Copies of this chain bind each other. A is one copy, B any other.
Amino acid sequence: MYDMKTKTRILKTSRALFNEAGEAEQTAVDIANELEISPGNLYYHFKGKDAIIEALFDEFEEEMRLILTGSQGNIASLEDVWVYIYILLEEIYDFRFFYYNLGALLDRYPGLARRFRAIIEDKKAAITGLIDTLETGGALDIPENLKEALILQIVSTATFWLSLYQIEDRPLEPASLIHRTVYHILTLLVPYTDEAGFANFEKFTDYYHEALAETGARAHPS
């Protein structure tokens, strides 16, 4: 931390602060205090909180693009889907403050709205590609008139899962949270798998419950 450039430290600390305590709650001065630098110094590096958020979005956008436009050609089974979705959700978790405040944020920074929309489109394309691959490989068979809605459903879940857990307010470890959501998404595909795929899914169910148990959470509220 000590050898980082101030500009880098500002981004790192801001992100942590936003994720933990909410973006809307943090002022420029708060960030400066957390870093133990003066507000003046902060403003020397970034023209206010807006500029910091834009820079953070740059980072987020780049990493999302890497995941979403990377080759999904080698995904052949539900196991592979599991891993892929896990990685996607993990990345979202690292920038979760964007998702907590989405509405307010896109209102305040219209430039971001356009770019965020583009990420959603990439997500849609990635999921579509993934499903097509699975269908070609014979692991899945989805009626044509349901496919579009199913894809939208998956994209939607992969976008708003954090909001749902935020409301539920049962604090879960990040890993459980993500496991649970991946499980949830795979659930959507199960009706369209063959017998083998269904058997596989049962395995995932076990894995999911184990993962929850490991981190001290429970699959079902008491």
Number of interface residues of A (CB under 8 A): 43
How long is the Cα–Cα vector from A159 to B159 in the complex, in angstroms? 13
Contact A164 B168 (CB under 8 A): no
- Asked if A116 is at the interface of the complex by the 8 Å CB criterion, the answer is yes
Contact B163 A103 (CB under 8 A): yes
Q: B residues within 8 A CB of A191?
A: 146, 191-192
In the assembled complex, the CB of A29 is this many whole angstroms from the nearest CB of chain B, namely: 19
Interface residues of chain A: helix, strand, loop or mixed (majority): helix
Contact A153 B190 (CB under 8 A): no
How long is the Cα–Cα vector from A149 to B153 in the complex, in angstroms? 13
- Asked if A157 is at the interface of the complex by the 8 Å CB criterion, the answer is yes
- Asked if A24 is at the interface of the complex by the 8 Å CB criterion, the answer is yes
Q: B residues within 8 A CB of A168?
A: 117, 120
The number of times this chain is found in the oligomer is 2
- Asked if A145 is at the interface of the complex by the 8 Å CB criterion, the answer is yes
Contact B116 A22 (CB under 8 A): no
- Asked if A166 is at the interface of the complex by the 8 Å CB criterion, the answer is yes
Contact A169 B117 (CB under 8 A): yes
Q: B residues within 8 A CB of A150?
A: 187
How long is the Cα–Cα vector from A99 to B192 in the complex, in angstroms? 32
Give A97's nearest chain B residue, CB to CB. B103
- Asked if A37 is at the interface of the complex by the 8 Å CB criterion, the answer is no
Contact A120 B167 (CB under 8 A): yes
Q: Which of B100, B120, B161, B187 contacts A103 (CB 8 A)?
A: B100
Contact B24 A113 (CB under 8 A): no
Contact B101 A104 (CB under 8 A): yes
Q: B residues within 8 A CB of A190?
A: 146
In the assembled complex, the CB of A59 is this many whole angstroms from the nearest CB of chain B, namely: 20
How long is the Cα–Cα vector from A192 to B1 in the complex, in angstroms? 54
Q: Which of B24, B102, B113, B166 contacts A163 (CB 8 A)?
A: B102
List 10 A-B residue pairs with CB atoms under 8 Å apart, sorted by A's residue number. A102-B167, A146-B190, A146-B191, A148-B220, A153-B187, A156-B157, A156-B161, A156-B164, A160-B163, A163-B163
